[in-house]
Structure 1
Amino acid sequence: MNSAMRGVARQGRFDGKVAMVTGAGSGMGAAVARQLVGEGARAVVLADVNAEGVKGVAEELAVGHAVVLDVSEADAVDSAVAEVVRQFGRLDIVVHAAGVDDPEAKQLIADALVEGRQPEVTDRLGNESWRRIMRINLDGTFHVLRAAVRAMRPVGAGAIVVVGSSSVFDTPVGYPHYAASKAGVHAMSQAVAKEVIASGIRVNVVAPGPTETGMAARTPAALRSGFADPRVRPYATPEEIADIALFLSSEAAANLVGAVLLANGGRFTG
């Protein structure tokens, strides 16, 4: 089913809903925001640290509202979510797609591939590289989960979808900090899911493999070629991952709680 047909088939799935999407200035987050609007959402708040990017995407959308937000800043996340509730009266859906990778570590891995040797990364990782990944990927996810639960628990309903990573399962050589951050994201999301389902809130995770995003575009060519495998699907599109996130956000996924949906095109199974 092409995107036009899919939009017709699912039109109105999110009628009247108020949603917030982090990392919405590009890639998967932007694709999620566009699809939410296309499927009837009353308001979609797009949050991203990239002011120009998120404002540009929001301007495309009739009911899009841009917020410049660094998810690693707890008070800023709390304020942004509280403002959504104040302005629109509710918060039904949160899709947390904000996250970062480590271009320097990727380059070290790629150099090793080109030179035919094993990557040597761990002993070269600085404290700030470790903290940056953890601060944004792991701490940021906690900040968003906590703020979303605070908004949703009083009304006894809501759906939260977190973008994790298939790297949790294959733990790429030379990428320990990224794999660890996303493993923490998965575990935390599942723990929160088991707690808050009693309050009518569903939390689930989509764990993409290689996906054509801005992050992927910055991946060195040697590393990208390492993901090429004729036996499996190529890089996913942001829209394909967004489809999964929206399914998890919808009533069709009412029986999914704490699920981690591995979306890596068949490269391996979890």
Structure 2
Amino acid sequence: MSTDGRQGRFEDKVAMVTGAGSGMGAAVARQLAAEGARVVVLADVNAEGVKGVAEELPAGRAVSLDVAAAAAVDATVEDVVRQYGRLDILVHAAGVDDPEVKQWIAEALVEGRQPEVTDRLADEAWHRVMRVNLDGTFHVLRAAVRAMRPARAGAIVVIGSSSVFDTPVGYPHYAASKAGVHALSQAVAKEVIASGIRVNVVAPGPTETGMAARTPEVMRSGFADPRVRPYATPEEIGDIALFLASDAAANLVGAVLLANGGRFTG
């Protein structure tokens, strides 16, 4: 038994994690397996990456999945229920950023001028971020609710973003997509708690993930502030997600937990 008393809190649970090929999703999947989950389905658009993480876990099963593809999400969740009888926990960590726009912002910072993004932002860049972050969240929430309603039980945790609150200059599409994710998740939470399903959100600040690794150094240094904690680790954010998925959070419904190390409060 672990000293913090958490070992086994997901004993015999059937869990699914999107975006599980790296970062926060991978951290969540590893911890679910370590804490007793009977099976952890790891889903990610990066088939090789998610296969590698799944192979570390005795309870792991890898699935290639683009959350923007509604039919594929439905089929994946239906297959989980068909094989394992139910879906107890779903953690939705899949999402995208926009490396090109990050580069535009970095160039502006280096040159000492304000970023100019909105008038340069192409339709496809906007739709790509919305398609994965917002549409993908809807697809995953809908499929999970369909799977969980018959059992009248389940926990869904969605990874949002603190950018909803501080709306970074030059990043309108990302901030808007995550604001939609928060509102969508809270609206669904209010509906489905009557069916015994809890939905909650974690809103991370800067976190050491693959997404952060693609952030230009001038932007990363802008987050450096001796008054607050440094970049979170994926495991730290994963711990919050798993608290929300656990019975200890039974009274949390539609919560958005801001996890940004003290950079600002919501």
Aligned with 1:231 (options 224, 227, 233): 227
Q: Mapping of 1:129-144 within 5 angstroms?
A: 129-144=125-140
Q: Distance in 2 between matches of 1:183 and 1:222?
A: 25
Q: State the partner residue of 1:62.
A: 58
**TM-score, structure 1 as length reference:** 0.97
Q: State the partner residue of 2:122.
A: 126
The CA deviation at 1:10 is 1.1
Q: State the partner residue of 1:51.
A: 47
1:32 maps to a residue whose letter is V
Q: State the partner residue of 2:179.
A: 183
Aligned with 1:222 (options 218, 243, 260): 218
The CA deviation at 1:259 is 0.1
Q: State the partner residue of 1:93.
A: 89
The runs of 5 or more residues in structure 1 that have no matched partner are: none
Aligned with 2:246 (options 245, 250, 254): 250
Q: Secondary structure of 1:258's partner? A: coil
The runs of 5 or more residues in structure 2 that have no matched partner are: none
Q: Secondary structure of 1:20's partner? A: strand
Q: State the partner residue of 2:37.
A: 41
1:259 maps to a residue whose letter is A
Q: Distance in 2 between matches of 1:42 and 1:85?
A: 13
Name segments (4+ residues, structure 1) moved above 6 Å: none
The reply on whether 1:31 has 2:32 as its aligned counterpart is no
Q: Distance in 1 between matches of 2:2 and 2:226?
A: 28
Q: Distance in 2 between matches of 1:158 and 1:132?
A: 30
Identity of aligned residues (%): 84
The CA deviation at 1:5 is 5.5
Q: State the partner residue of 2:102.
A: 106
The CA deviation at 1:9 is 2.9
Q: State the partner residue of 2:145.
A: 149
After superposition, the CA RMSD in angstroms is: 1.0
2:98 maps to a residue whose letter is D
Aligned residues: 266
1:222 maps to a residue whose letter is V
Q: State the partner residue of 1:164.
A: 160
Q: Secondary structure of 1:174's partner? A: coil
Write the deviation string for residues 162-199 of structure 1: whole angstroms up to 9, x where unpaired.
00000000000000000000000000000000000000
Q: Secondary structure of 1:10's partner? A: coil
